[in-house]
Amino acid sequence: MQVDVVMPKMGESIQEGKILRWMKKPGDKIEKDESILEISTDKVDSEIPSPSPGILTKIIVPEGETVEVGTVIAAIETNASAARIETSAPPPAATLPQRPPAVASPTKPMAGAQRESDRFYSPLVRTIAAKEGIALEELERLSGTGIGGRVTKRDVMEYLSTRSAKPTPALRAEPGLQRVDLKDLQRKYPRPLFEVVQMDNVQLKMAEHMVRSVQTSPHVEAISECDVTRIVEFRAENAERFEKQEGFKLTYTPFIIDAAIRALKEFPIVNSSVEGDKIILKRFINFGIAVASPSGLIVPVIKNAEEKNFLGLARAINDLALRTRNKKLSPDEVMGGTFTLTNYGIFGNTIGTPIINQPQVAILGVGAIKKRPVVVTDAGGNDSIAIRSLVFLTLAFDHRIVDGAIGGQFLEQVISNLEQYDFNRAF
C-alpha cells in the first residue's frame, strides 16, 4: 500500500513550509517515526518523522521548494515486494517554476498579471491577490516579513485592511531585510578578498525579529548584582544525586526561572503585551528560554510554567534544550511566550543588554557566575571581606508600559527570591 507523505501542519498559523533537506533517498528502507526530511517554516526548522514504515519510493518536491500545508511531497510503499522505486530525482529547485502561472484562477486572473515577477509568491498569496484584485505591481511594493523577504498571507491581509482607506497602495512600515542582488554584491565585494554568504532561514527570521523589536519598543535596561553563593553550594552538594535520579545534569537555570516566575506573579504587567493603546495582561506564564542551536538562536517556550514545581521546570528545560539542538521542536513550541530568559553567561560574558522578544515587554539576561571578594556585614553590623559567587542580572523592558520603578522593583524581587531561595522547593 502506498502512503503519501504530506507537508505537515505544524501550528495553527503555519500555512506553508520549505524543504531544507531530504535525509532519505528513493529506495531507502525507513521505520515509522524515523526522520526523513528537514523543513523550515516561518517559526522554526524541524525534522519530520515518517508516517509509516516501508520504503521511500518517490520524492516529489525537491530541496529548496516551498509548498502549502497538505501538499504531497513524497511516497512510501509499505509492501516491500510491491515497491517501485523512482530513482530519477526531481529537478533541482532552481529549474522548477518559482511561481504559479500568471493567471491565478480560471475565473478571475490576478490584476496586473500580464508579466511575471522576480519575487516568489506562494499559491496562497496569489489566490488572495486574485480574489481581492491586487495588481502584481501592488504586491511588489509590499515589504515581506517572511523568509528572505517573501510576502506572507499576514502581509497581504494587513495591506488589505488599510488599502480601502487610502487612495494609494499602503506600504508596510515594519522594518525588515531588503532583498539584495547577488551580482551587485559580487561586483561590490570581488573575490578573493570577500566572501558573500546568504543568511539561512533562522538567521533571516532572527534578524528581522530583532530589528522590529528595537523599532517597536523603547528599550531600558536595569542591571543588578546577585549573590548566588547558597545556590552554587546547594548545586555542588546535590549535583550527583540529582543526575542519578533524573538522568540529566542539574543547572542553575531552573532556580532562576523559578525565581522569575514568582516575581512575575507579583508584577503581572511585566508578563503582558501591548496592542495599540491597550495592555494585555496574561493570567498565565509561558516562559521562553533562549537556546543556542547549530542553526542559530531559538526560543522554545515552557507553556503554563507557573503550574510546574522545581523538578517540572528542570525536566521541561532539559527536554526543550535537547529537542532544540536536535531540531525536534514543532512551531507551536516556539510561539506564545510571555517572558524570556537569555543566559549569555554560559559563554563567559559578565553583563549583557538583551533585546526584547516581541510582543513581550521584558527579557531577563543572566551573566556568568564568578567568585569575587565582597564586603559582607554580619548581624552585629561588623564588616568583613568574603569570597562570594556573584552574577549580574539585566532586565531589558519596554518603557511604553514598564517604567523604571516597576522594572527595578521586579528585578530586585527576582534577586531576593534567588538570594533567599527556599531549597525545600527543589527536590
**Could you give the residue numbers annotated as active site?**
399, 403
Backbone angles phi, psi at 162, to 5 degrees: -110, -15
Query: First vs last Cα of the chain: how many Å apart?
Result: 51
What are the cell numbers at 220? Answer: 531600558
Give yes or no for a contact between 201 and 20, defined as CB atoms under 8 angstroms apart: yes
Please provide the DSSP assignment of 132-155 as one string: HT--HHHHHTSPP-SGGGPPPHHH
* Amino acid letter for position 94: A
What are the cell numbers at 53? Answer: 514504515
Please provide the DSSP assignment of 268-320 as one string: GGGGEEEETTEEEE-SS--EEE-EEETTEEE--EETTGGG--HHHHHHHHHHH
Give yes or no for a contact between 367 and 344, defined as CB atoms under 8 angstroms apart: yes
Whole-number Cα distances in Å, 61 to 17, 18, 110, 380 = 11, 10, 26, 75
